[in-house]
Every structure is written in C-alpha cells, then in structure tokens.
Amino acid sequence: MNIQFERVDVSLKKQVIDHMRDAIIDGSFAPGQKLVERELCELFDVSRSLMREALQKLEAEALITIVPHRGPAVAEITLEEARAIYAVRQALEALAGAGCAQHATESDIAALEASLERIAACQGNDDQKALVKAKNDFYRVLLKACGNPIVQEMLTGLNNRITSLRRFSMGQPGRLAHTVKELEAVIDAIRSRDAARASKLCADHVSKAATIALRVMADQQS
C-alpha cells in the first residue's frame, strides 16, 4: 500500500500558531483587525498553505473569524459574550477550587504557591506577558489537581478567551494586588482541605474580575 500525504513542518506551524495566538491575546493584533494572508505570510516568512492551516486552528479556538469573500479578522468579544464567558468560568472555577481542596497533593499546593509568587512579582512593572504566563500556570495547576477532567477540559478550551478578557480587569490600577490576596485565600482554603470555602473564594474571585472587566468594556463601547 502506498499512502500519499503532504509532509508539513509541524514545529514551524506550531510556532506560527503560538506567536499569532500571543499577539491576539496581548492586543498586538487588535479585536476586529483584518488579517491579510499575504502580509501574514511575509511577516512570518511561511507559505500561504501553512498560514491558512494556522488561521483555521485559531478560528477553531474562537480567536479569529473567517468570513467568506472577506477573509480573516481578529474576533471581537461582545459584552453579552463576555457575560456568558464569565458566568461559565465562575461555575467551573468554583468546581475546580472545591475539587482541588479534596484532591491536591502537597506538590500541587507548592506549585500553586510558586505560581502565585510569580504573579505577585509582576506588581509594579508592565510585563503583561509574564503576568499572563504566571496566571495561566496557576490555573493549569489548579485544573490538573481538581480531579475533574471535564472541568479541566472545558476551562482549558475557554482559556484563550478568558485571557483576552483579563486585559480589561488586570489593567486596572490596584487590581493585581487584590488578585494576589484573593488567590492567597484560595490556596489557604485548599491547604486546609475546605472544599466549600475554596469553591466560594474561586467564585468570588471570578465575580470581582467580571465586574471590573464588564464595566470597562461597557465604558469603551458607550
């Protein structure tokens, strides 16, 4: 049997996808911005076929939209979509917090503390990429340790859109200091094996972030 298939450089495609994803999440590619394939190919020095595969992957992650006859553009999250995302995130993170209090190992708790230290270290500087990475690391540990693979799968799938929304809340003066205190309390509840308190603290943390982000989004759209 002779099977014909296209050989592609997977690592190169992944690099393109990762860099484009980062550029969308950190706002380098602005919401609503039209993405011209030819310009992207020149920017990343890749073929059009590879770029189209990368765009399809980012469309599947809801980070871009591809409109027939108009081409790709960076996805815009509406106020109603943001409300829905935060509602789902709040419910799932409450479950994750409770599960983590029940299932986390001492190693998991130590990893949460180390991630929180990196989050706290971002206070007083403008390194948003370091902050995003530290927060993603924190939640990666929380989800892995929660003992619920469905919660982990669903929140991981939402993560890119959640990270995009964090720009609205984390950029507000003083918010990071409050975030550190809120996550410290979450870790304390997990360490104490208090599932109910961990659940409530996770839900409260998301609620506070949502209130700020939705207010900023509403002000920008008014």
Provide the token pair at 28.
Answer: 């380098």
Closest of 167, 173, 166 to residue 206, by C-alpha: 166
Question: How high is the pLDDT of residue 165?
Answer: 85
CB 141 within 8 A of CB 171: no
User: Whole-angstrom Cα distance, residue 62 to residue 140?
Assistant: 20
Q: Which domains are assigned to the chain?
A: 10-74 (1.10.10.10), 79-221 (1.20.120.530)
User: Whole-angstrom Cα distance, residue 90 to residue 77?
Assistant: 18
Which pTM does this prediction carry? 0.82
How many Å separate Cα 165 from the centre of its chain?
8
How many Å separate Cα 162 from the centre of its chain?
4
Give DSSP secondary structure letters for 142-183. HHHHSS-HHHHHHHHHHHHHHHHHHHHHHTSTTHHHHHHHHH
Question: How high is the pLDDT of residue 3?
Answer: 43
Question: How high is the pLDDT of residue 5?
Answer: 40
CB 134 within 8 A of CB 91: no
| Residue ranges in the chain modelled with pLDDT below 50 | 1-5
Question: How high is the pLDDT of residue 1?
Answer: 47
CB 35 within 8 A of CB 71: yes
Question: How high is the pLDDT of residue 9?
Answer: 54
